[in-house]
Structures are given as C-alpha cells and as structure tokens.
Structure 1
Amino acid sequence: WDASAPRLTPGYSPRELRESEFGRLAETVYLDHAGATLFPQSQLTNFTKDLMENVYGNPHSQNITSKLTHDTVEQVRYRVLAHFHTMPEDYSMVFTSGSTAALKLVAEAFPWVSRGPEKSGSQFCYLTDNHTSVVGMRKVAEAMHVTYTPVSPEDMWSAEEQSAVACDPDCQLPHLFCYPAQSNFSGTRYPLSWIEEVKSGRLRPVNVPGKWFVLLDAASYVSTSPLDLSAHQADFVPISFYKIFGFPTGLGALLVNNRVAPLLRKSYFGGGTAAAYLVGEDFYISRPSVAERFEDGTISYLDVIALKHGFDALERLTGGMENIARHTFALARYTHAALSSLCYPNGAPVVRIYSDSEFSSPDVQGPIINFNVLDDSGNVIGYSEVDKMASLYNIHLRTGCFCNTGACQRHLGISNEMVKKHLEAGHVCGDNVDLIDGQPTGSVRISFGYMSTFEDAQAFLRFIIATRLRLPGGQPVPQASTGEGGALSAEGKVDCVSRWESTCMDSSVWNNSSSTVNTVGLCPALSKASSTQQTLSEKAAGILPGDRGPHIVTNLYLYPIKSCAAFEVTRWPIGNQGLLYDRSWMVVNHNGICLSQKQEPRLCLIQPFINLQQRIMVIKAKGMEPIEVPLEEGSEQAQICQSKVCTDRVNTYDCGEKISSWLSKFLGRPCHLIKQSSNFQRNAKKKHGKDQFAGITATLSLVNEAQYLLINTSSILELHQHLNTSDENGKEELFLMKDLISRFRANIIMNGTRPFEEETWDEVSIGSLHFQVLGPCHRCQMICINQQTGQRNQDVFQKLSESRARKVNFGVYLMHTSLDSSSPCFLSVGSQVVPVLKE
C-alpha cells in the first residue's frame, strides 16, 4: 500500500484492515463488490456472541424475550433511518427479503389509476439503465391497465435542458418514475436533483398532466456512498443490506416517505399486519404504522439484529460512508486511468470501457468499471474467456449483462432484434455464450469495496498486461520509452510490468485528482518461433511430418473418479454410458457439492486403478496407503444421496466412511466419495442435428456433457509448437507432449494428418463401433493444471485461445449410435479410425 494513499480511518490502512478482518481472502483478488460485498470477521464474531448471550423470541409475542426482540428491531429501524440522514417523522421503513421484494411491494401498492376508453390513466416510467427488478414492475402496472414508458438517459439529460410545460394544478393523476442513483452496469451516477425536479414538474419523463412520484433505486449506490434523504426526498427508496455489509443476505428494506404512505393500497394481509379481521366476512382493519401494514408475517428478526453489528463494524473500521466513497472512487479512478492507457504495439487499445463519465468525480461515477477486452485488431474477446483467465490468476470479477439489459444494449450497441436473435441462438442471461457472429453479448465488470486495496487494483492490471501483452515465449511485451521523434530506445527492453508500475505507482498520479496515468507505448513483438520448432515438437511426440499414416487410436484413457487421475488401458469394454466405469465416481465436499480440479487441483494426484477380475478399484496417492473400493454396490447399500453434475440432479450412494477419511486426510478437507446409482439414468443434452439421429438419446455417467471425448495428436502438436519457443539464449522450455495430452483428459487419442480436422467430421467408426460427432469441447481453466503435479500454468489456455481465434475448443464429443448389448464390445489401441466428413 502506497504510503501516500488515503486511509479509511486514522487507525487502519487498507492493508492492515485486510489482514485483521479479511484474512480469508489470502491471495484472492475480489473485484465483485457490486454483486456482493464482504463482511468483516468482527461483525460475524460479535453477532454470534450476541446470539449466544441473549434470548430473542418472536416479536409478535408478549413475553420478555419477545419484548427484547421488538425493542432491538425498532432500534435498528431508527439506526437505518439515521444512516440515511432522516427520521421516523419523515420516513417509514418496511423490512423486505431484498430490494427486489421492495420494488414488487411498490408496484403492487402504488395507487395506480387504470386507463379507460375515455379517460387517461397513470404512467409508469423508468430509466432504461435500470435493474431487471425495476423493469419487471411493468408487469404489475400492465395488469392494472397502466401505460409504461422506458426513457433513455439521453432523453432525461436533454429534458433537463428544456423547460417543462406548466402542469395543471387540479390534475392529481398519480404517475411513477423510477431511476437508479447508480447504474449497476457502468457505475454512472444519475443526478439526485432529478428527484425534486420530477416531483415539482420542472422535469418530466413523459409530458402528461398529473402528479409525479419518484422511486430512487439506491441498492447499488448506498453500498459505497452516503445518501442524504433529508436533502433528496425520494418517495420510495429500496435497499439491500448485503450490498452494504456483506451479511446478512436475504434482507432488504423499502423506505417510504410518510407523505406518500397513506396513498399505498394493500390487497393482501398476513400475520402481524391485522388489527382486526373476520373469517367469514370481508372485514379487515390493518395496523396503523406503515411497517406493521406491509411486513406480512414474522420478519427475519435475527437478521435484523445482525444489522446492528454491521453498522458497528462499518463505523469502527471505516469511519463512515464518506470515507468509503473517497477510498473506493480513488481505486476506481486509478484503475480506469491505467486501464485506458494500455495499448498494443500497433497502437490499438487493449480494452473498450463502457462509461458515461471520465471518472472525474464521485458525484458522477461510482467504483465500477465495465469493459470488454479487445485483440490488436479491435475485435472483442468474449467475456467468458476473460473470466476463465481471471480465475487462473485468482481474480474474482463478474461478466454478462448484470441484470441490466437496457444498459447492456445501449453501451454494446445491441438492438432489440439482436437480443431476440441471440435468444434463438441459445443465449440466455447469465450463460457463457459471449460472442454471436463476432458480436459481444455482454461485458466484464470489476467493482471495489471498502476492503479493496491498491494491491488489488495492481494485481488486476498485471493480469490484463500478462494475458494480453505477451511475446511468443510467454514473457510480457517490453515497454518502450520514446524520444521526441518517437523512436524506440534501448530502454524498451525493460520488463513491461515493472516499468508500468514505476509509472502508475507514482504518488502524484494517486494523489492528484486531475492527473491521469501517462499513456505507455509498447514495442513490437519479437520474432516468432523458428521453423525448426515443429520438427522438435514432432520428435518429442515420436511422429515425423508426412509419416503419420492412417488414423489410428494411439491411447485409451478412462477416469473412474471424476477430476482424478487417468487410468490408461489398451483394450477396455464399453457400456451404455461410455467406457465401463468412466466417471462412475466423484468426490464431493461436506455439503455434497462436486469437487473438481478448479477448486481442488490435488485431485489429479489421486490415482485409481480398476481390476475387473477382482471387481475392485484400488486408489493410490503419494504418502497414503492404497485403499480398495468395490466396483458395485453391495446388498447392504450405503447411504443414498443426491448431487448435481452440470445442473443435472443425479442419484448416488456414499461409498463409506473409510474412503471418506482417506480422501479427507489427503485433501485436507472433509469430503466423501459417491458413486452413481446403477438404477439411475441421466440423458445427454447434446443432440445431433441430423433427422435420422433425432430420436437417439445418449445416457451419461457423471461426465459433464458426452459419453466420449476424442483428441487428435496433430492438434496437440500445433499447440505444442505455440507453447515451446526459444528465448534470446536459445534455451527451450518444452511442455512435454504427454503432459499436454493429459491436460485435455480425453478418452480416445488418435494420430491425425491435420490439426483439428476432427471438427469437420460428422460421424466416425472406430474398429467395429460407430459414433456420432456431437461437436467441439469448449475448454475451461482445467487445461492449465499439470496433471502430474497439480501446478497451474496459464499459458496453455491463453495460447490455445490465441491460436484458435478465441474459440477455446479442443477435441470433439462422441456418442454411440447403436450398441448391441447381447455381446460385449471393446475399444482398443491400434483400432482404425474412419471419419465421415460433414456435408
């Protein structure tokens, strides 16, 4: 932490705060605070201590413990209002399950006037840069025959510059305008002055007569900034507390201006809201206060009590929201300036930032940076690939459209027709379909919280530099200094990251709000790999150019335990789900969640061996005594349990405490071994496009997507060439061919004549067996894990991405088209592979 950087409080620097309160982050760079911020350790410790020392009963009872709960909840209400600089005389607070529930409450309770054949009705108007939960209010309005109108930020800004038409003071037709104090997409902060301007009629979202009410969606804004409701008196303010404190989740509130509260209508009443009612007659009298009227049922009172400890921790550790706002904006402004300066050797920018501001002030910009990474030709690199690479650097960010389709469309230039086309192509919100016809469907977002540090920002920038600005040998592109004529000097040989740091870490850049990071030129990439590299690669594989012969199966692997080491065979029986016992078992954590090498790389060090004659699987690992597991469940089956594989629920059984203890000891965490039940059938989602195969459904083991995965050694050779380049001294750092093959965890390895020719196949026969090719395997970060050591190396994923034009595909999925169950079938090394090309 730079000594000149601002501290949150006199007693804590961000680094000290991280060590004392967020030690669980360790080497993690968490940059998704707009999604959910993190709670400090002391908050949870003090809350737990409170629960252990006090007895809190249902607040609807009349006993002493209930009175304690009621009084504590009321104290927290007062503290929430004070946090927003208001009082119970001006605002009421209704606890909800989150900001979405608060928005739904307003939609259902607002005094809408339905339009009719001869009369105007209410207008529901919302900024297009609103969260999905705001836009969703239109369904309630539509059911009430209310007209809804989306308004763009440009329309509002231009309307500010125009004088509104004088309104009819006698017209009290109620209209509602909703806008976010801060865009959760880009961090743009919209003027809080709009509240009074819209309510007074000086600014009209839609030029219709009537009385306008304003809903200020503050959920994103108040996570890092103070909100003064005494100065900006919105009628409705939904908030979500985990955005502010990190804990508790599932608790929000609706702050209602008391001048508006009497207008709200209630169509449902639940426990605690009724002063009196009759069962057999339409008679109901609600309780008098707004909170009592709208808090149906028993509120989550223990979570409400947790808020007290959230406020305590926030004030003790940071000194207040003003300090948080300054700290987080400083980090965002610094990162934005450095990120904006990065360019390729040809001068093309490395990123495209989506913003309505220049990060000049926290009044107009929050601590959110939204962008897409570009290649040196200006093409967008899909957000899914960026996310996967970031995870390899232990950087946690968010990708997609962030539940804000309007802002996503506006900044990325996605038309309504394109959204529909993307849906037809299979893209839905939250998936990994990041590019369609070369156009992005979403973007990347980083965001800062009060526990974020300068080192977090630097780590993120190093990640962008390391993954985008690299030489063929894997080294960062050196940064050049230029004279007045722009010629490169010898200083250009200095390491890119260290030179960048020397520029960006200058204290004047950090402290001077008007300064920006100097744009840094980058020298051209060094020469590419020599022409002899392919020969070296092929020699390493034992294969020479032009001498590969026909397609032959060279290796067969099965993976009895999902994500554990491969078991190599030369001849093996196949069943209805693929190679017999392939991915029949998997390791799960104490909650029954499947563990993969993404979370636990040491899984690759667990080596299973199957003995078909003895009907056992022997499991070995370094430093552990071998252990045996029966291949089939016995007559006295172990505990039946359920788990999930790629969102599919699977029926399994636990293999017992003995193997559980063995795995837990080796991995250093509680875990279990489970096996798919023999009477459970899971069907593949991937289907072949041909009509004659439309009725064929493959059944799966615990694999992710398909029965078999095939890779081609020619494809491996091409990747091997990209990865193994000579440095200035002529030394070579070879990735061994066997190492690369094992990273892709395929079942069938074949020798090929051309790299990636398998992607042009429609069908394939291997020996006497016939398969359909379902399509390419889209790769994740697991290919970066050395299967012999468990160590990560990011180069494999990046080089594959670069060489394949950002389609990180490797290998193809296969499924059976028919299988004669009357006689055993086998796959064997040496079998001929005969493909059928796509039409």
Structure 2
Amino acid sequence: MDRDLIEFNQLCTFETFNEVWGHYGYGSDWVEEREREFIRIKGITYLDHAGATLYPESLVREFYQDISRNVYGNPHSHNPSSRLTGDTVERVRDRILQHFNTTPDEYTVIFTSGSTAALKLVAESFPWRSPTAVEPFSQFCYLTDNHTSVVGMREVTSALGIVPLPVFFEEIEARAKCLTQSEGRDFQTPHLFCYPAQSNFSGRKYPLWYIRAIQARQLYPACDSQGRWFVLLDAASFAGCSPLDLQEYPADFVPISFYKIFGFPTGLGALLVRNDTAALLRKTYFGGGTAAAYLTGENYYVPKPNMADRFEDGTISFLDIIALNHGFDALLTFTGSMDRIQLHTFGLARYTYMLLSSLCHGNGQQVAQIYSDNMFENPSTQGAIINFNLIDSHGHMIGYSQVDKLSSLFNIHVRTGCFCNTGACQHFLGISNEEVKNNLQAGHICGDNVDLVDGRPTGSVRVSFGYMSTFQDCQNFLKFVVDCFVEKPVKVDNEKLERVKLNSWSKWSCQSRLSMPTNKTPEGDGDHYSTDSEHLVGNKNEVRLITEEAKSNGKAPTLRNIYIYPVKSCAAFEVTNWPVGHLGLLHDRGWMVVNGNGVCLNQKREPRLCLIHPQIDLLSNTLLLQATGMDSICVPLEKDKESHKSHGVCQSKVCGDRVKTVDCGEEAASQLSEFLGQPCRLIKQSLDFIRNMKKGLDKGVRSSSLSLVNEAQYLMINSASIDFLQKDITHRQEPSDDHGLFDTQRLISRFRANLVISGNEPFEEDDWSHLNIGNIHMQVVGPCGRCQMIGVDQATGAKTKEPLLSLSAYRKGKVTFGVYLVHQTPEDSHATLSVGSSIMAEMS
C-alpha cells in the first residue's frame, strides 16, 4: 500500500473526526439504539436526507398502536371519534409551534399537502396590487437560490401584470444596509420577499436577520421600494437538521415539510403564518370545511373565522397529522433536541467535506469539485449538505449518472441532478440562460440522466446527512469514491487539508448550545364535562313542574354535599368542610390524565377513570390515587421549582385554553398506564400559570381564575332537580331494568358537581343570578351543558342511555343540568365551605 493511501486511511478514522469537530451522537448508547430503530437500512449507506429523511421503527410502531387503539373520525363531524381527532390535531398544532419556539398567539398552523402547496397557497392568497392601481404595484422578489416551488409563484404574479424581481445573494451582500430609504409618501402597498433558510442545493444557510431587515425596509431590495414588506422564509430544507426560533426571527410565512424532519408521514406539510399578517390573505376558492355560510343560488360566502379552518380546504389528512405526535416523541427521545441534531449532522458533513476536498488522483489532479460558498467552518452558515461533481485524472467531469449507478451498486444512496433549484445549479456550474435552453433542445430535461452536454455537466451529486447518520456512513462514502473514481496512487492535498482544519468553528460555542434546556415530556390537551356550544344554553321558557311537597316546605336551601375532583374525570372525593382557594375549592381539578399523544383522557374516552379514587391529605400534603388492581399512587400536592425542572414543564389544553402543566413522573405514569391499558401520564397545572375564565363575560359575569375545570370555578346541582329527574327515569324504565343504577346518590354522582344543594323546587337554580353559601358570595355564570358522560355509572364505569334520554326529553333537546358558579375573592384567606350552610339566592 502506497504512503499516500496509508495517510488517507489514517485520516478516515474517528480520531480525526473528533479532532476536527468533537460533537458526535446523542449519548453513549445511541449507536446501539440506532441499529434497533433503523434495522431496515443495515448494509445501506443512506445519504439523501435532504430529499427525505428516514423514520425510526418506533415512530410507525407507536402510530400503528395509536390508530389500532383509537377510532379517529372525520374532524368535521361532532361524534366522539371526530372530537378525538379534533383534539389530537389541535394538540399537534401546538407541538409544531412549540418546536419552532412560538405560540398560537403569534402564529397559525395551516396544514397542506406539502411545502409546495404551502407556497402555492401564499401565491394565490397574498394581496397583490397590480400596476393599474393608484398606489405603487406590488413586488414579488426572490433569491435566485430558491427551490422551483418558490420561483413558480411568479406565474400567479405575472398573470396580474407584476414583473418578478430575482435577486442574487451578492446584490444583497453588496448593499447589506441601505443608507437611506426611498423618499415620498409612505404607501401600504404589500410586497413579498422569499428566500430559503438553507439552500437545498449547497446547504448554505442564509442570514436569518434578513427577516427583520427586510420587514423594516433596511435591506435591499426592500429599501428601494415604498410600501409594506413581508418575508417568506422557506424552511423545508433547513428544518430537517436545524433549530428555527420564530420568536427571534419572525418571518411572515414559513412553509415546512414534515417528512424532511421525521421521515414519516409523507405528503404532509404546513404553512406557519404570523397572525399579524394572516388578516391580509385573501381566499380565491372555498372548499368543504372552510365556510361559515354560503349560498348556491347567490354569490354569497362567509369564511370561518379561524385562520386554519379558512384555508384548509376539504378534510385534512388527519391520520397523517396524528402521526406527527409520534414523530416529535421519537425525535426527542432519540436525540434530545434540534441543537444536538445540528451539531451531529454538521460534524459529519464537515469531516466528509474536509477529506473529499483534499482528495487527489495519483497525478495530483483534484478528485472533486465541491459547490460551496464556505469551508464548512460554522453550522450557522452551512447545513449538512455537500454538493459536488467528480473529476477524472485528466480533469474531465464525470457525469452524475455514472456516479449514481455505481453508488447504487454499492448500496450507497445519493441524489443527482439539479435538485429543483435551477438558480443555484446555474450559479455553481456556470450554466448560462442560453445553455439551459440549448440543453433542452439537445434533449435534456430536469430529472433525466443526460448528465453531460458537450462535456459540460448539467447537474451534480448531492450527499446529505440526517439525525441518524453515522461516522460509518462517511467512511463508506469516502471509500466508495476512492475505490471507484480515484486513479491510484491516492494523493492528499495536505495544504488544503490544513486550511480546512484551521477554519474549525469554536467547540466552546457548540458546547454552550448543548447546555440549553431540551424538551421533555409531551404536554396534554383535555376537556371536562361537555363544551358543546349547542348545549350551553338552557331553555328558560320551559314549564316548571313543582311538587306540592316542595311548595309547602318553604325552607331555605342548604348545602347538602361537597365534592372535589382532584383529577379530572376520576372519582369524587367527598368532604364536609373544605378550604376555598383563588381557583375554587382547593385542589379541585388540579391534575389530569393524558394519553400517549398528550390529549386529556376523560370518561367519554376512558370510562375506567371513574374507578380511580383520589384522596387528599392536607396535613401530609399528598394526593393519593387508589383503584382495585392498581398499586397506590402518591404524589405531593405542591412541587418546588426543582421538581418542575426534573419532571418537565409542558403546555396542555383544557376547554380550548392552553395551560402550563407539570408532569408528575414515571411512577404515576407507569401505574396509570398499566391500569388503563394504554400509555398515559399524570400532569398537574403549574403553580405560576394563570388561566382566565371566558364563559359569561359578555353577560357581565366577573372574570375569575380557573384550575383545569372547563367553564367556571364551581358546578352546582339541586337535589330537588335530581329527585324530579329520577322520577322521570323510573317512569321510563322497564320492570326488568336495574333501578339501583339510578338511586339518588348514584344519579348525583353522574353529574359530577362540586356542590349539591337541598333546594325546594326542581330547577329553581336555573333562575338564580347570585347566591350566598354561608359567608361566601357566588355569582351564577350560566347553565352547564351535558354530554354522554352523564351516561357513565360512576360506581362501575358501565354505560347507560339514562339520564341523558330523560333529560334531553325534558329540556327539549337542550341538555343542561346544574349551573356554573364563581366566587368573589374571599377577604378571609382561610375561608371554607361547610355542609349544612344555608343558601340565600337572588333571582335573575
């Protein structure tokens, strides 16, 4: 073996890699985990992650188990399966925004069939102003190093008479900051500037500070045009291996493609739209699910107010969207964070670039022409993509088709061509506009195998790394190049090698990013009782049936029972005296159980929750959960900040509200998962989170803070109403029915109230506006809408059609029972509610 080949082989070692970069993998056992998760690529060197990354087996396995356990229906319906779909989809929207460090208050997620569809949506919806308008016409500007799908937007603007303005990167750099903005009247003409966060051709990362500079008209070309400038940041290539912080870089439109991040599902993307910008978009078409109302015989159409609903024509790909939940879980479990992915993948690309760029034939001729604007010194300016053409020992280009065929023979998967980026291809390969046209006449079209025309390349070879790529992939690729394309003896350009080494980015700056906190346990969504809008208003014109006994009684109502429900949808904990906190009864609905997707489990989805009995011991500061066949679970009522950090703070959802929650740990999750027969976790509302009530505010109800309840701090029912309903149920029952299912106490338990009063008349509480319970003043928020959850017997978990059937018949379809209450903040911090307290009510 010649000396140079020995030297090259010595460079192809992990020690060399560690010397020039030093950041590899995600932990000591990640290689073994990678072998388990990606066993299907054993013997394959997959280097086309910029085209589509690979999914781990756990992703599809968990997704399969998810859709095998749950029934997901069309989210445009209102049945239980549809509601489960809707809740889970909303959970995914939140996770997407969290992934890009933003919130639903700032951005909206619009699901599309891919990033191309997202770009098309912007092109067709942007409020372009044509040249015929009084104000200056809109400008559509794009960087020449853009994907075909971005450049294709000009077909829409051209039809409006708007001439597109392609911008070369050098033009922006030459005029990095405009000295003066254009003078004159400050028009509001909308303009759009599009550029990629990362070139899908070369992997170059363009400065993200361009976003604010363009929006502020401080950067060319925005500073040369009057009007309001918006920025579309194409993140499809970038997001696969790099973190994107939309808080810091608030682009107006961000198209993404999920298979480039997770590998699965394909055919699903999204457009992230800044809410401040969203109102400007105009619909040119409406499809199923987007209309609030329309007429077929008249040109009348009103879109839904929600931004996502307005632009997601037809039924969204809800099963694919649900799969994203498992994509996030798998990615974070395997890697820990996007920062770690960026460091890992960039290191592999940098090492490969270093050796490939220094590799020479025996006669000293360079082996590879690498198309890059930098020397891979910094992951903030270069992604995990290497684009090149190979050169023979005589200096002639080797066609990419030949490289593709040989690489396939050795099970090395690369991509060849122009990668749907003609602008970058022309720039790096020196192909003129006239040559593109001549090549077409010569028979070459995009995507074919015509790799050389008159000896000049029409495209190139691209290798790209993903989060599961390994150092072995680099070695396999480099060995392939040496074995198949290098004329021996192998030479190394040591001068170039040293230049690359000297341009090493500081490891300390990388390490500082690794110290950043990573995402922890998935957060959950949830609901409680029923939030069906059509069920929230009672019928005040209905006839009250009042018994003679109730008329003659005449006693003031009293508080009969007090129940708290520490864990949403779990069993009640009855007390006789209980402290009143600022959220209602102390520790009421402070916790909830979420499924493997972070969606709240309630009895509509999991009736066995009612078999879990919570108990609170204020003296020992503990919550105890017990159920037959389950080991007891004991968690502290309050957690300190250090506990919050160790268990993870996450975002959850309750009755449409986003709440901050804290995970209660693995022990509770394990016991609940085993008992309920599905992955789930126990989470608690964070102490530093304030959730404000929305219900009744339009009717003058005082705003209050809430726990994990749905609508208001308290739910109150009247035992006289229970008695009335019980008689109606008994009248409907057959002689063979189990009448014990609806005795007074079991019927009360189905309605899961906090407060049960002994009233004089059935449903008299419907007409109350205020009441005093002892010395605590309450305000009535409104009636409680009921769903099929009242059909769950709280003692057994069995499901029955009553009392829903009788209540619906009596209410004439508007199924309400009980009223919501809020309290005025007690002056006494030690205020309590006690059984037996008298009740003074005011009529509305």
- Report if the CA contact (8 A) 2:215-2:228 is conserved: yes
Looking at structure 2, the residues matched to 117 and 285 of structure 1 have their Cα atoms a distance apart, in angstroms, of: 26
Q: How does 1:181-580 map to 2 (within 5 A)?
A: 181-205=197-221, 207-471=224-488, 477=489
Task: Report the equivalent of 1:150.
Answer: 166
Whether contact under 8 Å (2:377, 2:504) holds in the other structure is no
Q: 2:125 aligns with which of 105, 109, 112?
A: 109
Q: Distance in 1 between matches of 2:268 and 2:42?
A: 28
Does the 8 Å CA contact 1:164/1:203 hold for their aligned counterparts? no
- Separation of aligned partners in 2, 1:108 and 1:40: 36
SS at match of 2:342: helix
Report if aligned partners of 2:265, 2:323 keep a CA contact under 8 Å in 1: yes
* Inter-partner Cα distance in structure 1 for 2:172 and 2:61: 46
Q: Residues 23 and 285 (structure 1 numbering): CA distance in 2 closer, same or farther, change over 3 Å?
A: same
Amino acid at match of 2:201: F
* Alpha-carbon spacing, 1:9–1:48, altered in 2? closer, same or farther (3 Å): same
1:120 aligns with 2:136: yes
What displacement does 1:239 show? 0.3
Relative to structure 1, is the Cα distance of residues 152 and 51 closer, same or farther in structure 2, using a 3 angstrom cutoff? same
**In structure 2, C-alpha distance between the alignment counterparts of 1:24 and 1:512, rounded to whole Å:** 36
Code of the aligned partner of 2:430 = G
Partner residue, 1:58: 74
Q: Deviations over 1:492-533 (max 9, x none)?
A: xxxxxxxx9xx99x999999869xxxxxxxxxxxxxxxxxxx
Equivalenced residue count is 489
The Cα RMSD (Å) is 2.4
> Contact 2:364/2:491 (CA < 8 Å) preserved in 1?
no
Structure 1 distance, partners of 2:180, 2:32, is: 52
Aligned pair 1:80/2:96, yes or no? yes
Question: Shift of residue 480 of structure 1?
Answer: 8.6
| Structure of larger gyration radius | 2
Using the alignment, how far apart are the partners of 1:178 and 1:93 within structure 2? 19
Distance 1:256 1:54, change over 3 A: same
Q: Aligned partners of 2:298, 2:214: CA distance in 1, in Å?
A: 42
Q: Is the 8 A contact 2:289 2:315 kept in 1?
A: yes
Among 101, 104, 108, which residue is 1:92 paired with? 108
Letter in 1 for 2:436: V
What is the aligned partner in structure 1 of residue 156 from structure 2?
A: 140
Amino acid at match of 2:317: S
Task: Tell me, in whole angstroms, the C-alpha distance in 2 between the residues paired with 1:480 and 1:402.
Answer: 30
How far apart, in 1, do the equivalents of 2:244 and 2:364 lie? 42
1-structure distance, mates of 2:504, 2:161: 54
Residue identity opposite 1:165 in structure 2: Q
Preserved CA contact (<8 Å) 2:361 2:490: no
Q: Tell me if structure 1 keeps the 8 A contact 2:110–2:312.
A: yes
**Partner Cα separation in structure 1 for residue 188 and residue 492 of structure 2:** 66
CA distance in 2, matches of 1:167, 1:235: 25
TM-score by length of 2: 0.56
Name the SS for the 2:267 alignment partner.
Answer: coil
Q: Offset at 1:7?
A: 4.3
Task: Letter of the 2:269 partner, please give it.
Answer: G
Deviations 1:522-563 (A, max 9, x none): xxxxxxxxxxxxxxxxxxxxxxxxxxxxxxxxxxxxxxxxxx
Q: Which residue number in structure 2 is paired with residue 28 of structure 1?
A: 44
Q: Does the 8 A contact of 1:112 with 1:122 survive in 2? A: yes
Specify whether residues 124 and 389 from structure 1 end up closer, same or farther in structure 2 by C-alpha distance, changes over 3 A only: same
Q: Identical aligned pairs, as a percentage?
A: 58
Give the whole-Å Cα distance in 1 for the aligned partners of 2:455 and 2:468: 37
Q: State the match for 1:780 in structure 2.
A: none
- Helix, strand or coil: the match of 2:279? helix
* Alignment map for 1:10-25 (pairs within 5 Å): 10=27, 12-13=29-30, 15-25=31-41
**8 Å CA contact 1:113, 1:174 repeated in 2:** yes
Cα 1:481–1:66 shift into 2, 3 Å: closer
Alpha-carbon distance in structure 2 between the residues aligned to 1:423 and 1:509? 41
Match of 1:106, as an amino acid?
Answer: V
Q: How far, CA to CA, are the matches of 2:433 and 2:249 in structure 1?
A: 35
CA drift of 1:387 comes to 0.8
Q: Residue 119 of structure 1: CA displacement?
A: 5.7
SS in 2 for 1:213: strand
TM-superposed CA distance for 1:278, in Å, is: 1.0
- What code does the residue aligned with 2:105 have? E
Secondary structure of 1:292's partner?
A: helix
Cα displacement (A) at 1:289: 1.1
Mapped contact 2:362–2:490 kept (Cα < 8 A): no
Task: Give SS of 1:8's match.
Answer: coil
Distance 2:387 2:67 in 1: 40
Change (3 A) 1:335 1:259: same
Give how far 1:118 is off.
7.0
8 Å CA contact retained: 1:164, 1:201 = no
Question: CA separation in 1, counterparts of 2:405 and 2:47?
Answer: 14
State the one-letter code of the partner of 1:379: H
Alpha carbons 1:167, 1:201 under 8 Å: kept: no
Q: Note if contact 2:375-2:503 (Cα within 8 Å) is conserved in structure 1.
A: no
C-alpha distance in 2, partners of 1:142/1:109? 14
Report if aligned partners of 1:17, 1:451 keep a CA contact under 8 Å in 2: no
Structure 1 residue 283, shift from structure 2 partner: 1.1
Unaligned runs of 5+ in 2: 1-12, 509-844
- The TM-score, its normalising length taken from structure 1, stands at 0.56
SS in 2 for 1:369: strand
Q: Provide the residue aligned with 1:669 in structure 2.
A: none
**CA distance in structure 2 between the partners assigned to 1:256 and 1:95 by the alignment:** 11
CA distance in structure 2 between the aligned counterparts of 1:71 and 1:424, rounded to whole angstroms = 54
Q: How much does 1:345 deviate?
A: 2.4
For 1:508 and 1:213, how far apart are their aligned partners in 2? 39
Distance 1:233 1:40 in 2: 31
Instruction: Measure, in 1, the Cα distance between the counterparts of 2:38 and 2:466.
Output: 12
Contact kept, 8 Å, 1:334 with 1:510, in 2: the verdict is: no
- Tell me the amino acid that sits aligned with residue 130 of structure 1: N
Shift of 1:307: 0.1
The alignment partner of 1:359 has SS state of coil
SS at match of 2:302: strand
Q: Are the equivalent residues in 1 in contact too, given 2:360–2:492 (CA < 8 A)?
A: no
CA deviation string 1:812-835 (max 9, x = no partner): xxxxxxxxxxxxxxxxxxxxxxxx
Report the CA distance between 1:145 and its aligned residue.
Answer: 1.9
On the 8 A contact 1:167/1:210 being kept in 2, the answer is no
Matches within 5 A, 1:710-729: none
Residue 379 of structure 1: CA displacement?
A: 1.5
CA distance in 2, matches of 1:478, 1:226: 39
Summarize the Cα distance change of 1:163–1:17 in structure 2 as closer, same or farther, 3 Å threshold. Answer: farther
Q: How does 1:592-671 map to 2 (within 5 A)?
A: none
- What whole-Å deviation, never above 9, does each CA across 1:595-622 have from its counterpart, x for those lacking one? xxxxxxxxxxxxxxxxxxxxxxxxxxxx
